[in-house]
Amino acid sequence: MKPFTPDELRAKANQIRRRDLQAVFEAGAGHIGGEMSVTDILTALYFNVLRVAPQNPLDPNRDRLVLSKGHTACVLYVTLAERGFIPKEEITTFLQPMSRLNGHPNRTKVPGVETNTGPLGHGLPVAVGMAKAAKISGADWKTYVVTGDGEMQEGSNWEAIMAAAQFGLDNLTLIIDHNRLQQGARLADTNNLAPIAPRLEAFGWEAVEIDGHNMDEILAALSHEGRTPGKPRGIVAHTNKGHGISFMSDNVAWHHKVPNAEQYAQAMAELEEAAQ
């Protein structure tokens, strides 16, 4: 597949947001806030950055992407469907009895998923192992992992951050979806981690801060050009939970709330207008 241009990525991200919104509305469950905040990042990865092939999802030389914030599985499913890993029609089965599309991604059932996530704080250690495997075997595939910002409160992440620096994993990229909100409250009112970038730097990482909804900035940060050899890269992506939908954006109520019919219509109208 030819990598998408920033304009094409913006259009695709909008399409993915709409399909995700519809799926959550129809299933009556999902994590819409964190899905809207991570959509641009996932779209850039799958349609420009990752060297992956839907026909050969287990190609040993594929790039690896771990969605550690597994509660936003629905938007991963939609993205995988758009990219050809699973049939687009299958999205209608999300959360239905016996569907393989449950609320958290399962690698044994869904092609394209690298590891089963759902409990927070698992993806980064696994990604460190992947990146280390590439180093040991001299392979040039890359590993990317996306976490939530609340998720970074889990100690396992910081154990992995230390290990990645120690191992010199410059083939590893951590993208933190920094939407400032966790499940029940703002990070600032719970267990604040901001500013995150200096913390990563203090642990020996190269940190960059971007607007996580700006495609040009996302692509530049994900690029492997001009990186510091021997250092893992941490991207602090400043995002909004519920991005693209005015009444959800930066609103803690929308972690896993489901829109009613009226809210759904308004949300869809806003996304459609943004597509123009």
Q: Which residues bind Mg ion (CB under 5 A)?
A: 148-150, 179, 181
The answer to whether 123 contacts ligand TPP (rule: CB under 6 A) is: no
User: Minimal distance in Å, beta carbon 165 to ligand TPP?
Assistant: 22
The answer to whether 114 contacts ligand TPP (rule: CB under 6 A) is: no
Q: Which stretch binds ligand TPP (CB under 6 A): 95-103, 105-113, 166-174, 177-185?
A: 177-185
What mask of x and - would describe binding to ligand TPP in positions 133 to 152, judged by CB under 6 A?
---------------xxxx-
Out of 29, 53, 220, 258, point to the residue binding another protein (CB under 8 A).
29
Taking the CB of residue 2, how many other CB atoms lie within 10 A of it?
A: 7
User: Minimal distance in Å, beta carbon 102 to ligand TPP?
Assistant: 13
User: Minimal distance in Å, beta carbon 70 to Mg ion?
Assistant: 13
The position carrying tokens 């899905």 is: 35
69 binds, among ligand TPP, another protein, Mg ion, none (CB under 5 to 8 A by kind): ligand TPP
User: Minimal distance in Å, beta carbon 127 to another protein?
Assistant: 17
**Which CB atom, from 170 or from 177, has the smaller least distance to ligand TPP?**
177
User: Minimal distance in Å, beta carbon 66 to Mg ion?
Assistant: 17
**Which CB atom, from 43 or from 157, has the smaller least distance to another protein?**
157
Positions in the binding site for ligand TPP (CB under 6 A): 31, 33-34, 37, 69, 71, 118-121, 148-151, 177, 179, 181-183, 241
